[in-house]
Structure 1
Amino acid sequence: MTSKKNLSERDICTQYIVPALKKAGWDIERQVREEVSFTDGRIYVRGTSSARGSRKRADFILYYKPNIPIAVIEAKDNSHNVGDGMQQALGYAATLDIPVAFSSNGDGFVEHDRTGSSGSVERTLHLDDFPSPEELWQRYKTYKGIDTPHQEQIASFDYFYDGSGRAPRYYQQIAINRSVEAIAKGQDRILLVMATGTGKTYTAFQIIHRLWKSGTKKRILFLADRNALIDQTKRGDFKHFKDRMTVIRKKKIDKAFEIYLALYQGLTNYDEDSDAYREFSPDFFDLIVVDECHRGSASADSAWREILDYFKSATHIGLTATPKETKTVSNIEYFGEPLYTYSLRQGIADGFLAPYKVLRVGLNIDLEGWRPEEGQLDADGNPVDDRLYNTKDFDRNLVIDERTRTIARKVTEFLKKTDPFDKTIVFCVDIEHATRMRQALANANPEEVLKNHKYVMKITGDDDDGKRELDNFINPEERYPVIAVTSKLMTTGVDAQTCKLIVLDSNINSPTEFKQIIGRGTRINEEFGKRYFTIMDFRNVTDLFADPDFDGDPVMVKQLLADDELTEADIHPEDEPVVDEETGDEIPFGDDKPEVTYDRPEIIDGGGIVAEPLPKIYVAGVDVSILNERVQYLGANGKLTTGSLKEFTRTGLLNEFRTLDDFLSRWNSAEKKKAVIDQLAEHDIILENLLDETKKELDLFDLICHIAWDRPALTRRERAEQVTKRDYFTRYGDNARQVLQALLEKYAKDGIENIEEMKVLTIDPFKAIGTPAEIVHLFGGKEAYQAAVRELETEIYRMA
């Protein structure tokens, strides 16, 4: 009989832990899940390609009901001590909001009780003494402060499940459970902060469904401020409400439904006598969910806030990726501290959101400023004011045609190098700027535009044709439009799953608006090859990434200040697009006069504009060129690399390998060199990025030695030629020699990691030699073939 010490970790789980759970009364089919992966694995960008890191996986998660995890178990084989898995288990428990963690090696359990209700923080248990489901449920209720049977009935009500296999991700589950539990305990204002692309609407649906089905909330209102958000919600996550749901349109009030979707603008006319929401009694709704609550309703004196005040007896839940916290406006003041925050950084680390790289492009006139020559005239023949103009002026007060064309050419050049059909959003200063940029991009891509004029589309609030193409742009199945040029309309609420390039040519000073824009690229769609995206920045907007509060916890900063202490920016924040009262669409600056902009647009209750229009100055004949370009990559710490990529990589390598001998030992002992490369990637050392920058076909081995220890570097072709000169292949028969020579050529072209997998034998030129089975047979079997490949690798690095 096999000794317990020789059993694998999986054997320990099957033979000891599962029987202990059964004996304690756990339903193995319904309450116990084994090897639960709860993240997708961070995506690492490798030059123009990408790879996923490993997922976080718990050995066991125990559930009281399918939607309520109450314990986690980390198993180790019997060569470990019984408590060796505890720190790992506690890390998972903290992430998953689970109160009790266990470690086991098959001899027993060590229990860590985060509730404090078991009398001690940690204790050792015999295999036969594992707690029952009811005992751990009692501890969960203590942990969550669930005191009464009524609270328990609400908090434990089931999720919606339609049999499709879709279930909430771990962070959605936490947000849903915390919200339902808080409402069960009587909390009536809730704020959930979840990064764009993490499924806020799906989370809201599950909260609503549980409360509605349990009878806790009978009539629910979902509020948004864009038609696109309402339509997207009705067709998407809320579709399961079917005929119990309606969309409120002005003058179409039907009180026979239970789930209502509405635009703020559809409920108010800014006239107390005709406001549509007053058709309902103040206590009509039990629950109101406010989508993108950082927008209109954030301000205490807005007409939109009056809707929430009118239905003040209802529970209000605010959803946002970017809570609004300024000296005069505060989401936290109204909703309270966030009940749960899931940040962009965490979403990227978990692999649920796409990472980004930044290409910063410096134009000469942007970096140095532009001053008109003496007596220079504008396009209308008027003299241009003699002063130094910079990016704050360009396209807002002063238009330089050559600047627009240079940016269009750079965007086109990038797409041609990657994929001309990568979905792209270009953010401009205003609608007039977007109009010119669309034309410049069309002229820069004549072949594509002649094939289909929708290759480039302006999608702004004033353009009905463009707005009609918005659904096609965000639909992965539709090829056109490819490039969407906008100003404010697409900053929020646009589910662009396959957007791979975001171009910033607008002066964005608001972290809120910037974060919303970045959110257009953070969705992942692996079916269509979308794993990461690029931000092309012409205006140093990505400096906002360096703001320590960019992806931190929201903090209320509103203060009760005297009027003379408030700045103009406090009173008239510029990060809110002006929207139409009827549709929620962006109002173009100057309405029907696109050639006119506003020096300072003001927002009054989400509606009208008060400002004196200033005409733009148009000049031509200016020398515009690109002075510098800089690529920045997102690190595992959530920060962009600073300094040169070479120095960043060198520092990372020297942290990983203390000496050259340390590196050589690990490289030579690795059964597959790809394992070393992948391990470096998980520590944020992406060698392919540096290869792209050096533009040389260096072997990754040589690149490491050269960057870290200044050793002379050979190209892959040079290493392959050295192997050929040594007559290494003469020991093999003709057919086996042909295979090895083909592998060497594959290495010279594509790198060492591309010859280590058996699947290489399924492509040319190997298909002409035989099937993989036939090729392996030439060497005397699979093990002999793999030994020959390892020997070939030894020859490749022999001179090292």
Structure 2
Amino acid sequence: MQKEAKARLKINALLQETGWKFFDDKTGARNIEVEGNVNLESLGDDFEHGKGFIDYLLLDTKGFPLAVLEAKSGSKDPVVGKKQAEDYAKAKRCRFVILSNGDTHYFWDLNQNAEKIILKFPTQKDLMKLLTATTARPLSGIDIKDDWIVQSQGAVAEADRKFLRDYQLDAINTISNKFDEGSRRFLLEMATGTGKTLLAAALIKLFLKTGNASRILFLVDRIELADQASQNISSYLKEYNIAIFKENKEQALQNQVVIATIQSLSYNQNFLKYFSQFDFDLLISDEAHRSIYGNNRAIFEYFQGAKIGLTATPKDYLKGIDEKKLIETDPRKLEKRVLQDTYKTFGCESGEPTFRFDLKDAVTHKPPYLVNPVIYDKRSDKTNQMQSEEGWQDAFIDEITGEQVEETFKIRQLERKVFSDSLNHLIVDEFLKTAKKDPITGEIGKSIIYCISQNHASKIARILNEAADKNWPGKYSGHSGVFARQITSNVVGSQELTKKYRNNQLGNTRIAVTVNMMTTGYDCTDLLNVVLMKPIFSVSDFVQIKGRGTRPHAFKNELTGQITQKDSYHLIDFFGVCEYFEDKYDYKEPLKIPAGKGMLPKPISEPQPKPEPKTEPEPGDPPIAVAHGKFMYIGTDFLVRDNQIQIGDDCMKVDREAYRNHFEQSVKDLMGTDKEFKSALENNDIDETERIAKEKLLEKPKYYFSLESLRKAYQTSNGLADFLRKAAGVIERLPDKYDRMNQGFEEFKLVYSDTPYEKLNYFENIYQCFLTNPDYRHALEKGNLGVLDDQTFGGIVPVGRINRDEVEKVVSYIKESNIAYVN
């Protein structure tokens, strides 16, 4: 079959998949005409008769011309037919043009300048919506006052009425003016705690009220943030229908405002399955740098509406970094790329956001909108050594052989390879001494402690509760609320616990001990202590975590009515995190550390620490014991792991086939006993499926199923939901590397939709060769571009057609999207 026939067969199928009809049927009249009034039935399946290509005329519900589809063969760039299609569309008085070669498709609204790449054809409903949309009023035509949200809240308590602040009104006016001038992409850079969700709600109302949007997508990166956004926006805008995509997918298809996680849209390409690219007239992305990371950006670019990004992580935090000196594995290099892409993606190529209200603006405002931390930099001798270039070097005694060995540790190995019970007790004691107190009760103020791992969090919570029993006997208990509560993802009901802790519904509990929860978007205004019991190397993570304490709060004495305003919070740092970022990043607000007696406080960038004396072990006592590759610092209480079995090398002794059989039978048993789990699996509800599996199936004794062990057993890098669906028989096989490789390039085309067609073919060759040929891959990583046209490696890119930066673009996309090598 000729290339032209193959292309048209593909186009025919794609048209029919999106509801277009070549012939009348029981559901309605045909809505496709073929150029020249060709009799389709006489052409056969391949439409080979006749001269040249057959163009398609798509009709509206009344049979009038709606769009022209210009078809080209699979070897040609569809855009070469643009002028021909334009002339044809004007002759037929059509506003819309589709250009396709069966594999790559472009959509062009003649009212706009440029065509846009699309993954599937628009439906008749999509085009009718674009054509018949009510003429919208200018955004700037509405005079927004501070009670814009209050008007939509209905009857609420006075304290719950949400008035817009001056800077929020400024942001709305900025976007309104730029939108009316033709801009369609905006980036709002606002410090954590300055009300980005409230501002988003105000913009949602404005776009809906003026007719500039009929449906809006609010994009978040975690399900707890979706729940929080839904609760808040629903309370702000009671006249609009709002739904979370994962909870009721069918209902979400009808709602005016849809809140969704990146994960729920990306899984199984749900964004393609459930939505047209024309469904949403406005996208708002919370923590915008996350929505465009790697292949997440394919989802972002799929939808054709205007786009507003919200971020608390400004680009200039990386000012002064010499990129050339950063190795590929340095997280700062990747983070800089992501942050720069954020600005470009949202139409801010200059590096300046559409609107900015940063931490300095917030804390210097009168009255202040946010509070600054007081930083306590506390490091033990061992953590200090581990953070040095030399590392922590010490002698170790193997408890099995009795031999003495030398070992060196870096900070990333703490609580993973080397363990110190004495260190954990030390940092707990120091925290209790340093923590900011509640101004009303005098207790330890509400605190969040960020630990290295779930096991580490468990240890810290236990030590804290032991200290509370000793210092305040009888005050804290399981009945009245434990002093410290572990809130990590492996704890049943952890999401609900975060809400209860925020709303003071956990009794006397003063401290939440976590790992990575309660970071982005967690609003707890009466928080007085943020504690870093782990190293942090991501600037985005650091900004989010330290931002948990910046919100102001009015503490009220219920007996006297006296109000005490929160003026600061304590940022207690046991791993030199603040110093690390202070040395490497240019913060606008100088960070402060507490001074000793008789000394003035000094910026942390100019520390004058007094060396702490080393504590030497008693003579004759071995300082370290080592067994099975794990090192324990011997202190007064020697602690080993408990309550959790790690899947390590020993797991590999278990026969993989038997392990898979046990897992698949366990999944089937759970389906038979848990109707919610079965329903979630059958309805492809990824979030609910994984939640139930983690709660009832994973990390239990005997087989200790975990994502890591399943990947080893199946020898693949699939996600948890894939393993569950395979075990349940929902899918016959696990999606393999080739499936993900092909899907990845389709998403690449969306991300770089402005790439000329010829280069897109070259990029695809580089993409496939890099993933499938290790010699080709190694050559490119060493900078050897000679392999691009070396057919022994599969290369077909002519010399000089692709430059080094373009090769780096493809390679970086593969790595940032975590696309697995096929070979």
What TM-score do the two structures reach when normalised by structure 2?
0.47
